[in-house]
């Protein structure tokens, strides 16, 4: 009698398991399935270190790095010369953008798309006073890199305190204005020149 009960119990359990598996509707396949990229572990947050006043001749300022396909600020200390503050600051900020993020920034998911070879200089004769000339035409830069430059310069002395940055390239093309907007920060690939901004 006891064996019969045991057999019945095992049979019932087996049927229940089979019906559960059949009911989930998942079939095995030999074809690879693209389930998308793995979830990002980027936090986009760095722990601030001890706060102290920057050394003389330096200022604390934000630069825009890429994290989870958007621009987010990180704080840096950069040198500024008094003789030509706009161009000096533009060069110092560009140096920071070209530099690989610090280990703590990399761990948080930050990166930079700005090319190592990129340089900046002041306006040429005939350019608007606040023009910054890059050694690569702005439209030839990867869009996230251009967005990093524009949004890092915007609102600083490099852009005369304005949200629109006037950029030119090494050729004779007329400089164009690029505005850092919320759209630019959240979707850097959409950066474009602003008509009539120069």
In tens digits, the chain (198 residues) has pLDDT values of 544 444 545 445 554 544 444 444 445 445 444 444 444 567 898 876 666 678 888 889 999 999 999 999 999 998 877 666 889 999 999 999 999 999 999 999 999 999 999 999 999 999 998 999 999 999 999 999 999 999 999 999 999 999 999 999 999 999 999 999 999 999 999 998 887 667
Whether 13 is covered by a domain: the verdict is no
Please name which of 136, 159, 131, 174 lies closest in space to residue 195, comparing C-alpha atoms: 174
Non-local (6+) Cβ contacts of 99 within 8 A are: 112
Whether 158 is covered by a domain: the verdict is yes
What would the DSSP string read from start to end of 70-113?
EEEEEEEEEE--STTHHHHHHHHHHHHHHSPPPHHHHHTT-B--
The residue written with tokens 């090319």 in the block is 115
What would the DSSP string read from start to end of 140-165?
GS-HHHHHHHHHHHTTSGGGTT-SEE
Whether 9 is covered by a domain: the verdict is no
Dihedral sign from CA coordinates of 107, 97, 151, 146: negative
Whether 46 is covered by a domain: the verdict is no
Whether 37 is covered by a domain: the verdict is no
**Angle (nearest 5°) at CA 5 between 24 and 2:** 150
Count: domains in the chain: 1
Phi, psi of 167 (to 5 degrees): -125, 140
Q: What is the pLDDT of residue 55?
A: 83
Phi, psi of 159 (to 5 degrees): -115, 20
Whether 53 is covered by a domain: the verdict is no
User: What is the domain extent for residue 91?
Assistant: 58-194
Whether 39 is covered by a domain: the verdict is no
Whether 23 is covered by a domain: the verdict is no
Instruction: Give the whole-angstrom CA distance, residue 156 versus residue 179.
Output: 13
């Amino acid at each position: 009698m006891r064996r019969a009960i045991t057999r019945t119990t095992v049979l019932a359990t087996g049927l229940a398991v089979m019906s559960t598996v059949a009911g989930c509707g998942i079939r095995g396949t030999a074809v690879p399935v693209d389930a998308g990229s793995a979830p990002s572990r980027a936090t986009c947050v760095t722990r601030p270190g001890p706060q102290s006043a920057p050394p003389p001749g330096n200022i604390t300022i934000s630069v825009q790095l890429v994290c989870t396909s958007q621009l987010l600020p990180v704080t840096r200390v950069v040198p500024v010369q008094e003789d030509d503050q706009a161009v000096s600051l533009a060069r110092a900020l560009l140096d920071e953008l070209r530099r690989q993020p610090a280990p703590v920034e990399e761990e948080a998911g930050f990166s930079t798309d700005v090319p190592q070879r990129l340089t900046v200089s002041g306006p040429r004769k005939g350019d608007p006073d606040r023009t910054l000339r890059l050694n690569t035409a702005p439209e030839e830069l990867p869009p996230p890199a251009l967005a990093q430059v524009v949004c890092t310069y915007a609102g600083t002395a490099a852009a005369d305190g304005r949200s629109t940055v006037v950029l030119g390239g090494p050729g004779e093309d007329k400089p164009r204005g690029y505005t850092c907007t919320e759209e630019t920060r959240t979707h850097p690939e959409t950066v474009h020149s602003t008509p009539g901004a120069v």
